Structure 1
Amino acid sequence: MNPAHQGNTDAVESDVGGRVRIFDTTLRDGEQAPGFSMDRRAKLRMAHALEDLGVDIIEAGFPQASPDDFAAVAEIARTLKAPTIAALARCQEADIDSAGKALQGARQSRIHLFLSTSPLHREHKLGKSRQEVIDIAATAIRRARTLAHEVEFSAEDALRTEPDFLAEVFSVAVEAGASVLNAPDTVGYVTPSEIHAMFTYLREHVRGAESVVFSAHCHDDLGMAVANSLAAIGAGARQVECTINGIGERAGNAALEEVVMALRTRQPLFRVDTGIVTQRLFPTSRLLAELTGQAVPRNKAIVGDNAFAHESGIHQHGMLKHRGTYEIMRPQDVGAKTSLVLGKHSGRHALRQRLVELEFAVDEATLDAVFESFKNLTDRQRSITNDDLVALMDKHQNHHPTAAVAVQS
């Protein structure tokens, strides 16, 4: 099999002028994190959800890691039609051949090669010189080009690699046939200004830079994975590698939903778009939580239960006047909804609004009495349900609409 290089050229040209491709590695980098493993059936179900989400590239796994991983990649490659299916491989013949075989059924396939380049990794992990690393990369890329439609080359620990050497490795990678160059912040070490500077340098110094896509893969060890990914995009990266809910090794990866909604919400600043169907973000997040048994933190940006929830009376009053006072995104754009939570921080405006929604006619005197009882109740329980409110109104009024009794919390 020797797929034509023509497919790569079209893919690269389509990214010029503001399209960022979303490379999802939930099924590979995310799934290999402790506590997040998925069996083959779960992986296939998640892959279909990622396809529905509009992900451009799905990294389905690491075929050489195990027979089950190989089978999962092969099944996803055969089944999915829209996205490019990628398989990870070390720059070793056995890995490359395994990846190529697993991807044979894919409509569009990509072998994702990685090789350490930083001085720390060269000395302590590989025991290789600069020239040996270059030679290994070139040989591996040429082999992979005969087995897949595209080759992506990742310089592991790129952001701690000498810039001149990284540019040289990438230049050789382009000459050997790689169409995507990934400069990962493997250990989540750099800051946004540093990664912006590195991507700017690479685009200026890599030979053939204009013919390839530069990719960012950022880890969250210092809590800057999303910020670093956005900085790389600002410096010309047109592929970002991320995971649903930010799962991944150690502290995780850049969260897909956060990157995508940052680009959408601040579109005038970044001036780029993605192909993600954002209304699918919340259900996709919840599916992953179901498949892995790992709940989404309540305060998680974009998809957490509290992302569009408001309990503070000041905030609730503002929201009732105009949503834009405290929400910079429309919750329906991510498949969620606004929630005005009634608790000890809530005020009279939110209480009145909820009672109106329950079809109670509330005068000021009744509201004063109910509000006092409401506040006393919040000292004993964290949140107040609709049933609680019906009981309070029953206490302070002689009657209430029968429709209200049926409202569930």
Structure 2
Amino acid sequence: MEQIYVFDTTLRDGEQVPGCQLNTLEKVEVAKALERLGVDVIEAGFPVSSPGDFKSIIEISKAVTWPVICALTRAVEKDIDVAAESLKYAKRKRIHTGIGTSDFHIRHKFGATREEIIERAVKAVKYARRFTDDVEFYAEDAGRTDNAYLAQVVEAVIKAGATVVNIPDTTGYCFPDEYGAKIKYLIDHVDMRDAILSTHCHQDLGMATANTLSGVLNGARQVEVTLNGIGERAGNTALEEVVMALASHPHRGYCTHINTQEISSVSRMVSSLMNMPVQPNKAIVGRNAFAHSSGIHQDGVLKNVDTYEIINPQDVGIRDNSIVLTARSGRAALKNRLEILGVEISTEELDTVYHDFLELADKKKNINDEDVLSLLGKNSDDKRIKVEYLQVVSGIDVRNVASIGLRIAGELFEASASGNGPVDAAIKAVKQIIRREMSIQEFLIQAIDRGSDDTGKVHMHVAYNDVVYYGFSANTDIIAASVEAFIDAVNKFTDA
């Protein structure tokens, strides 16, 4: 297997997304997670850009042991000086310097000539080599750079001492065949000596992963990526996509140092710290990546997971795939869920329950275990106290009043009460019937879905005789869910 080195730039290019800036402690936390993940190089920041970036690189260098710590610079001596200073504690360090090489950059950004750009590139690499033997050069906008001229630049910087040459598709412009051909052209026309080529692709046209893989197939041996594909504009190449694409095709003959079982947890960390939610249908790490809701797909997966899954979810740190019950689910999925819940039913019973299930599924977006059990009448048979009915009057400038009927050991009890709100009124009405000294210690409401018709989960801690009992319920009516959660807790101490 040929080694592909993973260069993670989540803390540099990824952090350039507006609103995603991290403080030093958070960056160190991410860097440690990247080390556990097994990345080869951590690009920790652009030290000359701010005191915060400079400090973060110093602290990351102290906290991380075996990955190479990399600092970005322009082809400017002051930038390189600052980068070298920020890397002084790194066990293994790299300076990443470079300059734009496309005619768009040469003419409009630098007002220079091609020859002058090569001179500046060579000078920067030679200067960086004074501080470290590991120098990477980036040819910014290489994706739109003429191949023959790009080869001249690459040849010159390798002769000057560059150990890695980064070929960025900075604007995400290239098609995969074009980007792959560019890498191959460089391999064929440049004396690489011991240097390697690196990919760095952007997602502007949605081809970052495809371009990166095309680069690998044509000779690149380092891939520059970010967790969850975050980064400038539409983002960078997603680490998880490239790594799992290579892992899923071992016949291609490539491997990485990535511990893939850490992918899911590190993805969630980055998403949380950077306040960047992962889209549900995101490859590998999206919450729907291993979810099946179509009846045809569910039936196939239940018979053999290989029918619709090319990756074992456990390989990326996800416990299992998800058979999501919706109106599109078939009998096989419903039967599977019932078996998981310990319920065995005949084919005839399944036909009846499935009909009721479809009616319920048309009303609710997702069906949970309580819903499935309720179809069989299994969810409340063993509860001593059950809600018979609940009626609430509430609003602005209106007295909040709740009337409730509870069936306790088969007998119906009724009560009404007013309160500061509909939930408070309903709970007071329940207390009038139960007549025990109990208090709510914790009351948490969470949305399961999103939208005005979403299902709400209520978690409640109820104290009775110095013991705290836990109650839970889920309902599209949050008032009903609150009362059910309260009674769920009450049932536990009245049965005790």
User: Aligned residue for 2:213?
Assistant: 230
What is the DSSP-based 3-state SS (H/G/I as helix, E as strand, rest coil) of the residue aligned with 1:31? helix
Label 1:214 to 1:191 Cα distance change in 2 as closer, same or farther (>3 A). Answer: same
User: Aligned residue for 2:374?
Assistant: 391
Cα distance per residue 1:236-287 (max 9 Å; x no partner): 100000000000000000000000000000121x311000000000001000
Q: How big is the shift at 1:333?
A: 0.2
Q: Is the 8 A contact 2:98 2:124 kept in 1?
A: no
What is the DSSP-based 3-state SS (H/G/I as helix, E as strand, rest coil) of the residue aligned with 1:95? helix
Q: How big is the shift at 1:360?
A: 1.1
User: Aligned residue for 1:362?
Assistant: 345
Q: How big is the shift at 1:210?
A: 3.7
Q: How big is the shift at 1:400?
A: 8.2
Where do residues 99-248 of structure 1 align in structure 2 (5 Å cutoff)? 99-207=83-191, 209-248=192-231
Q: Of the candidates 324, 330, 342, which is equivalent to residue 347 of structure 1?
A: 330
User: Aligned residue for 1:10?
Assistant: none
Q: Is the 8 A contact 1:219 1:254 kept in 2?
A: yes
Q: Of the candidates 39, 52, 55, which is equivalent to residue 68 of structure 1?
A: 52
Q: Is the 8 A contact 1:359 1:401 kept in 2?
A: no
Q: Is the 8 A contact 1:113 1:154 kept in 2?
A: yes
Q: Which moved more, 1:230-239 or 1:386-395?
A: 386-395
Q: Of the candidates 277, 283, 289, which is equivalent to residue 301 of structure 1?
A: 283
What is the DSSP-based 3-state SS (H/G/I as helix, E as strand, rest coil) of the residue aligned with 1:302? coil
Cα distance per residue 1:9-36 (max 9 Å; x no partner): xxxxxxxx61000000000000011232
User: Aligned residue for 1:332?
Assistant: 314
Aligned-residue identity in percent? 48
Label 1:399 to 1:365 Cα distance change in 2 as closer, same or farther (>3 A). Answer: farther
Q: How big is the shift at 1:309?
A: 0.3
Residue 258 (1) aligns with residue 241 (2): yes
Residue 92 (1) aligns with residue 92 (2): no
Q: Of the candidates 265, 268, 271, which is equivalent to residue 286 of structure 1?
A: 268
**Aligned partner of 1:98: which letter?**
V
User: Aligned residue for 2:5?
Assistant: 21
1-structure distance, mates of 2:347, 2:373: 17
Q: Is the 8 A contact 1:195 1:231 kept in 2?
A: yes
TM-score by length of 1: 0.92
1-structure distance, mates of 2:13, 2:31: 14
**Aligned partner of 1:165: which letter?**
Y
Residue 313 (1) aligns with residue 314 (2): no
Structure 1: which 5+ runs fail to align?
A: 1-16
What is the DSSP-based 3-state SS (H/G/I as helix, E as strand, rest coil) of the residue aligned with 1:146? coil
**Aligned partner of 1:317: which letter?**
D
Structure 2: which 5+ runs fail to align?
A: 385-470, 475-496
User: Aligned residue for 1:58?
Assistant: 42
1-structure distance, mates of 2:197, 2:250: 20
Q: Is the 8 A contact 1:394 1:400 kept in 2?
A: no
Q: Of the candidates 271, 283, 295, which is equivalent to residue 253 of structure 2?
A: 271
2-structure distance, mates of 1:192, 1:183: 14
Larger Rg: 2
Label 1:398 to 1:296 Cα distance change in 2 as closer, same or farther (>3 A). Answer: closer
User: How large is the RMSD of aligned CA atoms in angstroms?
Assistant: 1.8
Cα distance per residue 1:25-49 (max 9 Å; x no partner): 0000000112321111111110010
Total equivalences in the alignment: 387
What is the DSSP-based 3-state SS (H/G/I as helix, E as strand, rest coil) of the residue aligned with 1:41? helix
Cα distance per residue 1:104-130 (max 9 Å; x no partner): 111110000120000111000011111
Cα distance per residue 1:360-409 (max 9 Å; x no partner): 121223212211111111111100000111111117x996899xxx9999
Moved over 3 A (4+): 397-402, 406-409
2-structure distance, mates of 1:319, 1:215: 38
**Aligned partner of 1:213: which letter?**
I
1-structure distance, mates of 2:262, 2:304: 25
2-structure distance, mates of 1:143, 1:230: 32
**Aligned partner of 2:289: which letter?**
A
Which is richer in helix? 1
Which is richer in strand? 2
Q: Is the 8 A contact 1:360 1:400 kept in 2?
A: no
Label 1:198 to 1:372 Cα distance change in 2 as closer, same or farther (>3 A). Answer: same
Q: Which moved more, 1:198-207 or 1:322-331?
A: 198-207
